[in-house]
Structure 1
């Protein structure tokens, strides 16, 4: 027992020294107190006239190996966002996103940026705005990832003089050169899309075809982000006829009817960054290759199908629970539970049923509370996901101490 107490004291000493090193909640392995991404606010003008538009550029510079995310992050991630604090008479438009890279990180396919990128935001200046110096500022929030992901934010600001004349800034040339690389609107791609067969539960295969130019099969389609459905970032690309490319995608529906149209980027020369071309496209989804139009009145699967799917998931969950019983961390506990059943057999059946119901209710309520915490954090605009706390060294240390205390009990 004395040896156990000595081990516990040594562990607490180690925890104290270790915790003192973690001023940043994500620790040095996650980039420490210094973010791996720096953000700078660039303006196209030092002076601007009332009634004009100034281009703001959020320049994100990432350390080697790190990346941030596009408006649609892909299989996982969070898009960069900005909360503006603007003077009266100045209004910010939506972010204009450069063409992202498509990459695989930790086995997941995502869309995002490496090294350096500039996100463009138009700032409209009202015709009746007061003349004088104004401060353009905002809070930029992003998720930076390498071996793990860390949410970051930074305040940025720049001065803008509202005057009777316009004067471009020193950053105008860089902004103009980079802005030319934004995805273009082009109707010459002749984009067509149709469903490849019927839906299977809440998944359905979609085929997209467009002119590939000289890129051959080095092409892809990056879908925008939608609330009621998701287009998987995985693609199966094949040639289709003369100078055309066909891309097979999987659409996963969350609610409502199957989509009747789709929007995103048609990208060519994906591997050759110097020749990459991206075009903003929006097109209808046809019912089949023959061109029978799909309508927005397509009905969702009947309730019976949804019920069968639910029962199948419950069956899989039950089978998974049985398998967990033979895991090394669970199997030794089964004997303790059997002893508990033997002891309870001496009690009244009503009490046994009551204890069983209370135990089951406790498990359900515990998970509902955890789910509520995650939903609440996300609703507040913060980043939250299962297992994210395991990247926090302080949480891991606390968990280690807890397990040590249980072992000493």
Structure 2
């Protein structure tokens, strides 16, 4: 970064020497304005340094980026007077080749509060002087300067606002970064390995849906300006992952800058002032606590509405295997666990790959795609019909692997039940998983995968324990009519999940697409009815095959209509 800045300054100096004669007029016009028409001794008032740039010309912010230098104002005031720090409007980002800069186009007003001495003589005029220096850039960069002055009368009465510049000051204040009050939300900044992570949690109604975010530090050598900044939406708000400028150096204890937010449906950016201590990374004890929280969250997933019907069917399979060999039961438990873990690894690995390429996806990202939502709703709808007894899918899609084995309880069925349980669990993450998932996505890949592994182990733990200690199966109720009633009850839970997915699909599409989806459910139900009537073992071989082909064609037609 430093080498870039040095080279850039050398180029700028060269431009200023050789290109300045080609400039017909000054690209920047500067003016000093006061908000009030007079001065009261001891009463602070506001002034502004107004810069107006010719079309195509830019000036720089307090942190100019990889090149340039910020506008500088030096005040010359009467004895006993003081000038506060400059108030900078939020900047724009400029990109030229491999260099990134921050500054302003068209115009900028730098505000400052002037505090006059209480001994200022009433009835006389006072003169304020400001030496202003800037760097203006277009295809070439030209340094400029101006000595600005302003004379104001001194009076005892509170002065009126200057109507001629009222709009100027109002617009300037609207562009100032705003501090985040507690009634608007919270903002924290954390040091996470190679990144600085800004966590923004807005209060309900204070912000719209955030589509884009970009952090600009006030000091150099804090972040890599050219690296993509990854915005992720979670249960508790948003996180912005910003790559550090250097990963081998010591992180700053305090971070200042501007967080620019773009809301959906609005062309106006909202600038949040960042002035936070950089929180210390979690030590090993903190990481262990997060692993425990992830494991507990995985356990709780087993009773979530999306997962409960699938898990109930798995419990049925254990009850049926009560008299099988211990080794067989253990294999089923291990393969169910493997299905859960492999699914978690694949989903989290996809998220990490997308994050590496600068894409902002969060856990459950597949539910952001209407096609996936529609397919999942159709699969769960079929499972619900099967639970109601309209037709048999071997109890559910969990038994897709039955035909690959001659056993009454095929091993592949256990693996697929673990996969299915994970897929349907992603939209049902419980509150305990929110911080664990957000924390995991901000960590390096190995630690992130460890968090997701803990969630998967928590989800699979009850079944792995039962399979390792088959005597626990004896505590389960013996197979009987209660299983049929319980299956039907789980069918209602499954249909409730389908209803929720239809609502998600409707929010992503429109009324017509939702109507087509509901109509496709009727078509799919007809196919399931055909399967239940004529594709059973009680029918002849030819009848079963014809019924199966007809049902599959109907399923394909119903699914294709929605997709």
Q: Which category of TM-score, normalised to the shorter sequence, fits these structures?
A: 0.5 to 0.7
Deviations 1:163-186 (A, max 9, x none): 112233232342134323311111
> Which whole-Å CA distance do the structure 2 matches of 1:53 and 1:286 have between them?
36
Alignment correspondent of 1:63: 54
> Which whole-Å CA distance do the structure 2 matches of 1:271 and 1:109 have between them?
26
> Which whole-Å CA distance do the structure 1 matches of 2:210 and 2:22 have between them?
40
Alignment correspondent of 1:44: 35
> Which whole-Å CA distance do the structure 2 matches of 1:231 and 1:45 have between them?
40
Aligned-partner SS, 2:222: strand
Aligned-partner SS, 2:33: strand
Deviations 1:375-400 (A, max 9, x none): xxxxxxxxxxxxxxxxxxxxxxxxxx
Are 2:162 and 1:171 aligned? no
Alignment correspondent of 2:73: 82
Question: Could you say if the C-alpha distance between residues 114 and 180 of structure 1 is closer, same or farther in structure 2, counting changes exceeding 3 Å?
Answer: same
Contact 1:56–1:122 (Cα < 8 Å) also in 2: yes
Q: CA deviation at 1:36?
A: 0.7
2:105 to 100, 114, 119: 114
Alignment size in residue pairs:
261
Alignment correspondent of 1:286: 279
2:180 to 183, 186, 208: 186
Answer 1 or 2: which has greater helix percent: 2
2:150 to 158, 181, 185: 158
Q: CA deviation at 1:107?
A: 3.0
Q: CA deviation at 1:191?
A: 2.0
Are 2:136 and 1:144 aligned? yes
> Which whole-Å CA distance do the structure 1 matches of 2:112 and 2:118 have between them?
19
Are 2:195 and 1:205 aligned? yes
Deviations 1:246-269 (A, max 9, x none): 322233359984223312112211
Question: Could you say if the C-alpha distance between residues 267 and 243 of structure 1 is closer, same or farther in structure 2, counting changes exceeding 3 Å?
Answer: farther
Answer 1 or 2: which has greater strand percent: 1
TM-score for both structures, normalised by structure 2: 0.43
Aligned-partner SS, 2:197: strand
TM-score for both structures, normalised by structure 1: 0.58
Question: Could you say if the C-alpha distance between residues 28 and 223 of structure 1 is closer, same or farther in structure 2, counting changes exceeding 3 Å?
Answer: closer
Q: CA deviation at 1:102?
A: 1.5
Q: Which moved more, 1:263-272 or 1:34-43?
A: 263-272
Q: CA deviation at 1:114?
A: 0.4
Aligned-partner SS, 2:26: coil
Alignment correspondent of 2:423: none
Alignment correspondent of 1:407: none
> Which whole-Å CA distance do the structure 2 matches of 1:57 and 1:255 have between them?
41
Deviations 1:181-226 (A, max 9, x none): 31111144422333332xxxxxx42222213743434111111116
> Which whole-Å CA distance do the structure 2 matches of 1:264 and 1:291 have between them?
30
Deviations 1:146-170 (A, max 9, x none): 1121211111111111111223323
Deviations 1:9-41 (A, max 9, x none): xxxxxxxxxxxxxxx944457534x22111111
Question: Could you say if the C-alpha distance between residues 279 and 88 of structure 1 is closer, same or farther in structure 2, counting changes exceeding 3 Å?
Answer: same
Contact 1:215–1:268 (Cα < 8 Å) also in 2: no
In structure 2, runs of 5+ residues without a counterpart are 1-15, 287-563
Are 2:213 and 1:223 aligned? no
Question: Could you say if the C-alpha distance between residues 93 and 113 of structure 1 is closer, same or farther in structure 2, counting changes exceeding 3 Å?
Answer: same
Aligned 1:5-404 pairs, distance under 5 A: 25-27=17-19, 31-32=23-24, 34-131=25-122, 132-165=124-157, 166-169=159-162, 170-187=164-181, 188-197=184-193, 204-211=194-201, 213-225=207-219, 229-234=221-226, 235-242=228-235, 244-252=237-245, 257-269=250-262, 274-288=267-281
Contact 1:216–1:243 (Cα < 8 Å) also in 2: no
> Which whole-Å CA distance do the structure 1 matches of 2:185 and 2:130 have between them?
38
Contact 1:195–1:205 (Cα < 8 Å) also in 2: yes
Contact 2:189–2:198 (Cα < 8 Å) also in 1: yes
Question: Could you say if the C-alpha distance between residues 94 and 140 of structure 1 is closer, same or farther in structure 2, counting changes exceeding 3 Å?
Answer: same
> Which whole-Å CA distance do the structure 2 matches of 1:91 and 1:67 have between them?
29
Question: Could you say if the C-alpha distance between residues 30 and 80 of structure 1 is closer, same or farther in structure 2, counting changes exceeding 3 Å?
Answer: farther
Contact 1:26–1:150 (Cα < 8 Å) also in 2: no
Contact 1:74–1:111 (Cα < 8 Å) also in 2: yes
> Which whole-Å CA distance do the structure 2 matches of 1:208 and 1:142 have between them?
31
Q: Which moved more, 1:111-120 or 1:282-291?
A: 282-291
> Which whole-Å CA distance do the structure 2 matches of 1:265 and 1:174 have between them?
22
Contact 2:180–2:187 (Cα < 8 Å) also in 1: no
Q: CA deviation at 1:272?
A: 8.1
**C-alpha RMSD of the superposition:** 2.9
Contact 2:211–2:264 (Cα < 8 Å) also in 1: no
Aligned-partner SS, 2:199: strand
Alignment correspondent of 2:457: none
Aligned-partner SS, 1:46: coil
By relative contact order (CA 8 Å, sep 6+), the higher-ranking structure is 1
Question: Could you say if the C-alpha distance between residues 30 and 56 of structure 1 is closer, same or farther in structure 2, counting changes exceeding 3 Å?
Answer: farther
Alignment correspondent of 2:386: none
Alignment correspondent of 1:314: none
